Amino acid sequence: MAQHANSENPNVNLAYRRKKNAEEMKRQVISFVLMILLTLIAFFAVGYDKFSHWFSIPFILLLAIVQVMFQLYYFMHMSHKGHEFPAIFMYGGVFVAFLTVWAFATIVWW
């Protein structure tokens, strides 16, 4: 029973909710299309032999980061309110992981 505490009554503000969901759906579709597009670009960048590795590898990494952001903020609703803590902890994790890789790259493998 406790699990219903934060679910709202579905009959309230029906029109408003409809509109909001429609907007949400639109965004999801747009970002979905964008992600497919980004993936195609990545394949193209790798397949096109006029690009050197020094361009294509950083480029697809950049595309990957953009994709992750799309995933998180649109698909996984991090753009909504109430996600501050997950955001802090995810960025904290990213920071620690980055620090680790950075240190390895500079003082172990270099």
* Residues 48-87: x where in contact with another protein by CB under 8 A, - otherwise, as a string: -------------------------------------x--
Query: Minimum CB separation from another protein for residue 93, in Å?
Result: 6
- The tokens 């609703």 sit on which residue? 77
104 binds another protein (CB under 8 A): yes
At 3, list the tokens. 């699990």
Helix intervals (H) in the chain: 14-47, 53-70, 84-103
Query: Minimum CB separation from another protein for residue 80, in Å?
Result: 16
Integer angstrom CA distances of residue 8 from 13, 14, 15, 25: 10, 11, 15, 20
Residues that bind another protein (CB under 8 A): 1-2, 85, 89, 92-93, 96, 99-100, 103-104, 106-108
